[in-house]
Chain A
């Protein structure tokens, strides 16, 4: 496989720019505002503290915003370009398609990390602004940003792969987020561990002492390893599928 670093950088930068220029940013702003509103309002309630902030971040960010944004941006990224045929420029360049796929993945991760950071900071600050207790707030925000970066890596790989593999990726993505992760996580026993969210919570339990996430049981090193392996497998599988794909 020939390695064209300039080509890889170009695909990553151009696809990231394309995602940021897309009108979906309005939806992101709306979701960000919702998170800020809920967290700000929750902070005014009696007994609001960092445990509540942590629990809210798990529900609003880790369980909802992170996978939903990854799905919205990731599943449509390559699929849309195939559908409107703008992908022709990339696939007729002397760039191995596996490298191009990696470029798309990097672009997606960069954009999602940026969006997640903005929303988490806004939500966190909204809570701290109205909360009587602020000790550990900054650390909690940084912890959840780091945790979500890890999540962005895995979810991006998952939804980019699904978007490359099938023509209607949104339905499968929604099924994964709301049925599999929403339902299976709450099932007692080891099957409940077979979700990205659970593995992120295990890692989170090592990083913070606030909220119910701190009580999640499991080996954080194994969780990180599992997430990294799953990411690598999904990226490689996606690159393979993209290479084999006929673009009519």
Chain B
């Protein structure tokens, strides 16, 4: 079995609302990032993978099995949802014991595994505190610990970085990478921020409006994005000579200089070439740049481009 999950022409709708639409994807072993804006269908995909909901049309196999009404499969899957469901009156250790009970683990194995996973997610120190007092980062860690407890082959992490501060994000990204490299779990992790996923894995799938619009190596996706015409804002002093030079370049489509000459919007067909040549152009024209920003770096515009 080369893929941990395979979906073929999968559709799922809730009444009039479409969650996934003719969605096809192959998820290989290792870490796979599912990237898409809010409402794209990422959580629906996870719910289908765990058998919480059933498909309306299409085929889905997880670790070679159908997930709907298949509790035995759940012994091989660990799921960490994007929402908060932790009982606030329990401490972290009690919660993990509860999860272990649901997985049918005996007391000896439970004691060992609880300590193991608390160590993996770096929560040993706070394990005996009531979870109602946990920070967002701690809650995410305990949720991941709960998903890891029964040593699943496949971990599903739905938006694990949401609501965490930059420091915690870095730690969580390192944790997700370790879960694969050190502990050997296959991981499917979702986010609406591409560069966060990029720091975890090169294997990504982009979802937009319930469809898989691109999947594969991140460099391939980046190449697709590079072909996408970009709008770039430049701000600084002495921009007129730079604008004149840029107009001679084949990758420049148009330039709109602001009346105060302190800023301009440049539309380029091949942003990679533009960014590669920019330092030389700046040096050559003697302008002083204070701001360079691509307006099309947000996912929404990339997705709009990818789906035509």
Q: Which residues of A contact B (CB under 8 A)?
A: 2, 4-7, 9-11, 13-14, 18, 21, 84-86, 88-97, 243, 246-248
A7 engages B81 (CB within 8 Å): no
One of B46-54, B120-128, B232-240, B261-269 at the interface: B46-54
Say whether B280 faces chain A, with CB atoms less than 8 Å apart.
no
Q: Which residues of B contact A (CB under 8 A)?
A: 14, 47, 50, 52-54, 69, 71-75, 77, 79, 81, 83, 85, 87, 89, 98-99, 101-106, 146, 150
A7 engages B101 (CB within 8 Å): yes
Q: Total A-B residue pairs with C-beta atoms closer than 8 Å? A: 77
A26 to B285, CA, bound (A): 78
Q: Which residues of A contact B102 (CB under 8 A)?
A: 7, 10-11, 89-90, 93, 95
In the complex formed, the residue of B with least CB distance to A11 is B102
A93 to B75, CA, bound (A): 7
Q: Contacts A10-B98, A18-B87: A88 and B52 contacting too (C-beta < 8 A)?
A: yes
Q: Contacts A246-B52, A246-B54, A248-B14: A89 and B71 contacting too (C-beta < 8 A)?
A: no
In the complex formed, the residue of A with least CB distance to B19 is A248
A94 engages B89 (CB within 8 Å): no
Known pairs A2-B71, A2-B72, A13-B101 / 17 extra A-B pairs, C-beta < 8 Å: A6-B101, A9-B101, A10-B98, A11-B102, A21-B89, A84-B85, A85-B83, A89-B102, A91-B50, A93-B103, A94-B71, A94-B73, A94-B74, A94-B75, A94-B103, A94-B104, A243-B69
In the complex formed, the residue of A with least CB distance to B86 is A86
Q: Contacts A89-B146, A248-B47: A6 and B106 contacting too (C-beta < 8 A)?
A: yes
B87 engages A86 (CB within 8 Å): yes
Q: Which residues of A contact B103 (CB under 8 A)?
A: 7, 93-95
A6 to B150, CA, bound (A): 14
A92 to B83, CA, bound (A): 14
Q: Which residues of A contact B71 (CB under 8 A)?
A: 2, 93-97
A88 to B54, CA, bound (A): 15
A90 to B79, CA, bound (A): 11
A89 to B69, CA, bound (A): 15
Distance to closest chain B CB from A152 (angstroms): 24
Cross-interface CB contact of A91 among B52, B72, B89, cutoff 8 Å: B52
A10 engages B146 (CB within 8 Å): no
B72 engages A88 (CB within 8 Å): no
Q: Contacts A4-B104, A6-B104, A6-B106: A92 and B52 contacting too (C-beta < 8 A)?
A: yes
In the complex formed, the residue of B with least CB distance to A97 is B71
B79 engages A247 (CB within 8 Å): no
B53 engages A94 (CB within 8 Å): no
In the complex formed, the residue of B with least CB distance to A6 is B104
A247 to B43, CA, bound (A): 12
Identify which of B47, B52, B101, B102 gathers the most chain A CB atoms within 10 Å of its CB: B102
A85 to B52, CA, bound (A): 11
Q: Which residues of B contact A4 (CB under 8 A)?
A: 104
Cross-interface CB contact of A93 among B81, B89, B99, cutoff 8 Å: B99
A86 to B87, CA, bound (A): 8
A95 to B52, CA, bound (A): 13
A6 to B146, CA, bound (A): 17
Q: Can you identify 16 A-B contacts, CB atoms within 8 angstroms? A: A2-B71, A10-B102, A14-B98, A14-B101, A84-B85, A85-B81, A86-B85, A89-B98, A92-B74, A92-B77, A92-B79, A93-B103, A95-B74, A95-B102, A97-B69, A247-B53
In the complex formed, the residue of B with least CB distance to A3 is B104
Q: Which residues of B contact A247 (CB under 8 A)?
A: 47, 52-53
Q: Which residues of B contact A7 (CB under 8 A)?
A: 101-104
Q: Which residues of B contact A84 (CB under 8 A)?
A: 85
Q: Which residues of B contact A246 (CB under 8 A)?
A: 52-54
Q: Which residues of B contact A91 (CB under 8 A)?
A: 50, 52
Q: Which residues of A contact B73 (CB under 8 A)?
A: 94
In the complex formed, the residue of A with least CB distance to B79 is A92
A84 to B87, CA, bound (A): 11
Q: Which residues of A contact B99 (CB under 8 A)?
A: 89, 93
Distance to closest chain A CB from B84 (angstroms): 9
Q: Which residues of A contact B150 (CB under 8 A)?
A: 94
Distance to closest chain A CB from B151 (angstroms): 12
Q: Contacts A2-B71, A248-B47: A88 and B79 contacting too (C-beta < 8 A)?
A: yes
Identify which of B75, B77, B103, B104 gathers the most chain A CB atoms within 10 Å of its CB: B104
In the complex formed, the residue of A with least CB distance to B54 is A246
A32 to B2, CA, bound (A): 62
Distance to closest chain B CB from A23 (angstroms): 12
Q: Which residues of B contact A93 (CB under 8 A)?
A: 71, 74, 99, 102-103
Q: Which residues of B contact A96 (CB under 8 A)?
A: 71
In the complex formed, the residue of A with least CB distance to B78 is A92
